[in-house]
Structure 1
């Protein structure tokens, strides 16, 4: 707490930089006398700050800009996205397409999409903003889509990082990225929805969220969760965003974003998680780029969100129907395994071709929209010590129980994820009717990637 004054100063200067960068260094592209604000990085993007004589000049210009911003039409919801540069591409464009395509014209009038382009590479900023402006010029002109960027020197220093430096630096930057995003969104709307840059959205998600907020009027809440994965699908009151931004900046070095948010919720006296069904947002397992040479096909590559699913065989003692087979639950596409009338002890087991070090396991059951046919009671187990011709594992350790048919968990401690040969989904109670096992996703721990590219180590 001795550094709180220094941190507050950094916060203030950082937010000032955020406002002014957009005002001064985001040249407009004018077509048919209509101004479209597009962030285009230039080699001298940040040099103009040196021309200001003092902090008072910044504050004066910031006040003028915020005054204009506050005069814009206030919407009911702001959808906030922070996007960083990925070494193997980004799915931000697909995420934006999903947001607008999943919403009716009436619903689109209720929300604003705010994107923080949090990379520092000028070329990436220019290309990303150009792609967005070409695909979403109508939404930008209507004020439904806003792009912001905080320059690198607005970020606090990374002194005093503990534990794994690469991992902590990444989480620290992620927290600060989102602090800037939330600070900017404070006065844009009544509510703020946090999602990622690699997701797809359920149809009419705005209507679902609005209905839930209406039903919760008599019950005070701080955080509603429309996904049980990481920080995805978290809904806040906009009045809390300023406090949340300060909270993230104060503890940005301490924990990842998805672990700080529950602490913030608890501090504002909401002790229990409020999960809202159906879940409305899911991470994509693959992405397609918008390169002109690849417009006609989806290019599947692995990014920080995408599972590895090492090669293996799938076995089950559940009923197998003609339409959907067990191996479809382990594929990386949209297929799934369908069965019915399962009993306690039934299982679906992935037996890997070779032992792997796992860092994360995700199991999803039930339909995407309504959550129907989810496994009511089940658990996920990690298997070790394979033997015999079938390489069946001789020992298992419980990873965790499914919550409402879902599990998305990091494998901690790390030695628990070492040399895993089997991953098993076990039914814990008889369930009459259909069961949909949508997917089993596995992520490997790859030390060589983490050491060389810490930005790839994103936690969901």
Structure 2
């Protein structure tokens, strides 16, 4: 049976959780009801205590923005939290309305100075989705620039590449009216950050809240990513499986350890989360507010799926001049290591295939083959060349960063000189042994000296029952021209 190796989630001290949750809930209720009383909290003392917690949650310390006017300690704040999004007016391109789906993926984006990854992100999401999953997913791109020219440029690039998906309603491009941001009024600084940065992150709170409000009722679950990430083959099914694995109630499931990437919520909670983002837009960056929201919703531990499903690509932050080369430590790297020839071939295996981790991914493209169950004695994995090849070197790498033990331990590699074809079968014969696997890998070199004929097949044959599933990450074939 498959053995999962999940890391134990970080745990909060119960006493601190109760104190923190009470503070946030009381502030939340006081602001919603516009009550006048002064609620005193010693944030500096809380900050000292928070450094002792082994958690990613941070307590904000705030300072008053220098001004010649007196700023009330508490202001009456509607902050746009009751703003209603007109779904039709928000759409940049008219599209066929989709019925309520399983998953909505939100992507806020702005024009960046430097390299732009938006189209690459969309392409990764779509190409790594199985055809039968497209009816279960909608992708919502929010153009968050205030300048019309920048929004138009991004919208045009999306339409040129994904026009058919815009028309079908699988991709929606939305924007907010400039009047929506009139409620932003930065009157204090927190985290010792300069006014320009605080204004930028305050707007980001409004951007996210707008996306939440637009997405309400359109799906069962909502997940947000950034506009500079890539994902993995089969990621939608992995999300479904992780949801099914939950044995207790949850507020947020995480599929990336970074920022606000890959955070999954029940869509029914989006309105409350939008209100919280709008209420505390001055005090907190979005990456912290969602942590507080999870606590208020009584989820006391992080539920991070490992390996994660999204990797951060970008270097340039959406804040001008900020460099942010973050990488997710738990993301499996699917990129092939060897720059091999890999001539055209058909890939065949007797092993069951897990989800969309197809056999061909071990030989070409980004991805790898993953067996559905442990291989047994006699199982095979075969590369059948379209034309006979003169081999120089063959390398097979198994296992992955996320699953280093899912590797081939007991197997041999053969080259076949002859291919017999029938109506129902392909049979490789006239075998020459290239060696046996060691520590999950094999590197057979100097083959020109060993094999004087061209070969038709390469075949991995399992020689002993394995305990775990196996991943064939890369098959690299070098040939003589």
Using the size of structure 1 for normalisation, the TM-score is 0.52
Tell me which protein shows more helix as a share of its residues. Answer: 1
- Quote how far apart the aligned CAs of 1:126 are: 1.0
Structure 1 spans left out of the alignment, 5+ residues = 29-35, 38-67, 288-301, 309-321, 325-333, 335-366, 375-460
Query: Is residue 230–residue 311 contact of structure 2 (8 Å, CA) maintained in 1?
Result: yes
Asked if 1:372 corresponds to 2:403, the answer is yes
Counterpart pick for 1:105 among 122, 131, 140: 131
1:245-324 paired onto structure 2 within 5 Å: 245-285=274-314, 304-306=323-325
Query: Is residue 283–residue 305 contact of structure 1 (8 Å, CA) maintained in 2?
Result: no
State the secondary structure of the residue aligned to 2:220: strand
Q: How many angstroms apart in 2 are the aligned matches of 1:7 and 1:19?
A: 25
Counterpart pick for 1:175 among 189, 205, 214: 205
The aligned residue for residue 160 of structure 2 is: 134
State the secondary structure of the residue aligned to 1:136: helix
1:143-158 paired onto structure 2 within 5 Å: 143-155=169-181, 156-158=183-185
Q: How many angstroms apart in 2 are the aligned matches of 1:285 and 1:9?
A: 31
Query: Is residue 79–residue 279 contact of structure 2 (8 Å, CA) maintained in 1?
Result: no
State the secondary structure of the residue aligned to 1:124: helix
Distance 1:368 1:3, change over 3 A: farther
* Between 120-129 and 261-270, the greater mean CA deviation after superposition: 120-129
Asked if 1:22 corresponds to 2:51, the answer is no
Specify the structure having the higher radius of gyration (Cα): 2
Distance 1:3 1:368, change over 3 A: farther
Give per-residue Cα distances to partners, 1:324-374, cap 9 Å, x unaligned: 9xxxxxxxxx9xxxxxxxxxxxxxxxxxxxxxxxxxxxxxxxx99761349
State the secondary structure of the residue aligned to 1:109: helix
Asked if 1:120 corresponds to 2:190, the answer is no
Asked if 1:159 corresponds to 2:204, the answer is no
Q: How many angstroms apart in 1 are the aligned matches of 2:273 and 2:400?
A: 30
Counterpart pick for 2:215 among 185, 209, 218: 185
Using the size of structure 2 for normalisation, the TM-score is 0.50
Give per-residue Cα distances to partners, 1:205-253, cap 9 Å, x unaligned: 100000111121x311111111111111111111111100011001111
Distance 1:173 1:369, change over 3 A: farther
Q: How many angstroms apart in 1 are the aligned matches of 2:115 and 2:151?
A: 13
Distance 1:229 1:77, change over 3 A: same
Distance 1:20 1:211, change over 3 A: closer
- Quote how far apart the aligned CAs of 1:323 are: 8.5
Aligned residues, how many?
262
Query: Is residue 81–residue 279 contact of structure 2 (8 Å, CA) maintained in 1?
Result: no
Q: How many angstroms apart in 2 are the aligned matches of 1:190 and 1:10?
A: 25
State the secondary structure of the residue aligned to 1:133: helix
Query: Is residue 279–residue 369 contact of structure 1 (8 Å, CA) maintained in 2?
Result: no
Distance 1:283 1:151, change over 3 A: same
Asked if 1:214 corresponds to 2:244, the answer is yes
State the secondary structure of the residue aligned to 2:78: helix
Query: Is residue 76–residue 191 contact of structure 1 (8 Å, CA) maintained in 2?
Result: yes
State the secondary structure of the residue aligned to 1:372: coil
1:33-112 paired onto structure 2 within 5 Å: 36-37=94-95, 72-112=98-138
